[in-house]
């Protein structure tokens, strides 16, 4: 997370005052809702279905399993697809059944590779779809093996292009961040953001979270290809939202000496909390006072300024 910093300086004799805003490097310890690498030690058996193990569920016959050494570094991996099916769709998912009220930032990450169909067999569509606790689909990210394009679909049913694509047999890392409080989601392929700030729901569906499903949709009903989506390092986490700094930075004002003590005023947004700190060398800082701004400012008398050749002040925002 980036740090945000703003400073303004005033000089009064040898007294200098300033303001310093910094977000903490980490705003919370993420809660792991679920994670797996599909290894034998986690209960997954080679050449056996994923469904029925470690809470995984499927809708549709066959079409999922565990393989090994298909991609360097993946070891055992899960897949959906490959086996011919006459079903219109096949779903593979692991419910976590999470209410994001207190931890509204849910993140999904997965490594994946889409292997093409052989010969002239049909090329199908694969999806990652988010569902709520009521079983309603909220949104989907689509991997179209017919044109190698990446699309997305909200719960209004419309299909939209991301402007990005993929290559068969190439490994990618997908990250999807869902902010249930703000009703927004974004997606990254590696370091590239491919979907930016779209609604989690456009239909006022319940903003709860059940799972992200891997979906196989044959392009032609009853004539599925033998293409398949291989995936590994499947993780779901939940976190609190980062604290939001005041819209207007505070200002530290030196007001002069009163009865041998130096008066400092912190002016800023009412309700924001600041810690006033002092230093003689801009390297070591001493906390003087932490207070919430009311009425637009608060004052502090610094008795430690007596006899100091120079004194620097800053106000540090406290989340």
Q: What is the mean pLDDT of the chain?
A: 88
Q: Are residues 48 and 20 in the same domain?
A: no
Q: Are residues 235 and 284 in the same domain?
A: no
Count how many domains the chain has.
2
Q: Are residues 102 and 230 in the same domain?
A: yes
Q: Are residues 70 and 187 in the same domain?
A: yes
Residue 1, in any domain of the structure = no
Q: Are residues 148 and 293 in the same domain?
A: no
* Domain coverage including residue 272: 10-26+244-317
Q: How far apart are CA 274 and CA 318, in angstroms?
A: 5
76-80, 136-140, 242-246, 278-282: the lowest-pLDDT one: 242-246
Residue 4, in any domain of the structure = no
Stated pTM of the model: 0.75
Q: Are residues 129 and 277 in the same domain?
A: no
Query: pLDDT band at 80, cuts 50/70/90?
Result: very high
Q: Return the higher-pLDDT residue of 269 and 200.
A: 200
Domain end among 189, 212, 239: 239
Q: In terms of DSSP bridges, do strands 15-20 and 31-36 run parallel, antiparallel, or are they unpaired?
A: unpaired
Average pLDDT over residues 249-254: 86
pLDDT, one tens digit per residue, over 28-58 is 689 999 999 999 999 999 999 999 999 999 9
Domain at 19, CATH number: 2.60.40
Q: Are residues 56 and 167 in the same domain?
A: yes
Tokens of 282: 């801009």
Q: Are residues 105 and 234 in the same domain?
A: yes
What pLDDT is recorded for position 27? 55
- Cβ 64 vs Cβ 49: under 8 Å: yes
Other residues' Cβ atoms within 10 Å of the Cβ of residue 110: 20
Q: How far apart are CA 187 and CA 110, in angstroms?
A: 12
- Cβ 110 vs Cβ 231: under 8 Å: yes
Q: Are residues 151 and 294 in the same domain?
A: no
Q: Are residues 112 and 14 in the same domain?
A: no
Q: Are residues 156 and 300 in the same domain?
A: no
Domain at 225, CATH number: 2.60.120.200
First to last CA, the chain: 15
Residue 2, in any domain of the structure = no
Q: Return the higher-pLDDT residue of 2 and 262.
A: 262
Query: pLDDT band at 87, cuts 50/70/90?
Result: confident
Residue 145, in any domain of the structure = yes
Q: Are residues 115 and 208 in the same domain?
A: yes
Query: pLDDT band at 166, cuts 50/70/90?
Result: very high
> Over 90: is that where the pLDDT of 110 sits?
yes
Domain end among 223, 239, 255: 239
Tokens of 126: 């694969």
Domain end among 185, 212, 239: 239
């Amino acid at each position: 997370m980036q740090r945000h910093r703003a400073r303004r300086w005033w000089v009064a004799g040898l007294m200098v005052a300033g303001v310093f805003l910094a977000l903490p490097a980490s705003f919370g310890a993420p809660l792991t809702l679920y994670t797996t690498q599909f290894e034998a030690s986690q209960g997954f058996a080679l050449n056996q279905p994923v469904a029925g193990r470690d809470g995984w569920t499927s809708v549709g016959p066959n079409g999922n399993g565990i393989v090994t050494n298909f991609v360097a570094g993946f070891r055992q991996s899960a897949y959906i697809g490959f086996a011919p099916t006459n079903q219109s769709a096949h779903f593979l998912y692991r419910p976590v059944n999470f209410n994001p009220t207190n931890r509204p930032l849910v993140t999904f990450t997965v490594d994946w590779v889409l292997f093409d169909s052989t010969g002239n067999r049909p090329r199908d569509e694969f999806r990652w779809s988010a569902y709520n606790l009521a079983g309603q689909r909220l949104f989907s990210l689509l991997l179209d093996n017919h044109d190698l394009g990446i699309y997305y679909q909200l719960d209004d049913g419309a299909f939209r292009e991301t402007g990005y694509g993929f290559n068969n047999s190439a490994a990618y890392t997908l990250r999807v961040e869902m902010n249930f409080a703000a009703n927004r989601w974004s997606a990254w392929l590696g370091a590239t953001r491919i979907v930016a700030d779209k609604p989690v729901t456009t239909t006022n569906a319940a903003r709860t979270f059940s799972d992200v499903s891997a979906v196989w949709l044959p392009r032609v009903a009853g004539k599925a290809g033998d293409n398949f989506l291989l995936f590994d390092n499947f993780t779901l986490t939940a976190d609190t939202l980062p604290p939001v700094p005041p819209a207007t930075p505070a200002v530290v004002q030196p007001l002069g000496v009163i009865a041998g003590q130096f008066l400092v005023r912190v002016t800023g947004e009412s309700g924001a909390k600041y810690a006033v700190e002092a230093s003689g060398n801009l390297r070591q800082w001493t906390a003087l006072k932490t207070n919430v701004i009311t009425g637009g400012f608060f004052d502090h008398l610094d008795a430690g300024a007596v006899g100091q050749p120079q004194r620097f002040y800053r106000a540090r925002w406290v989340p």
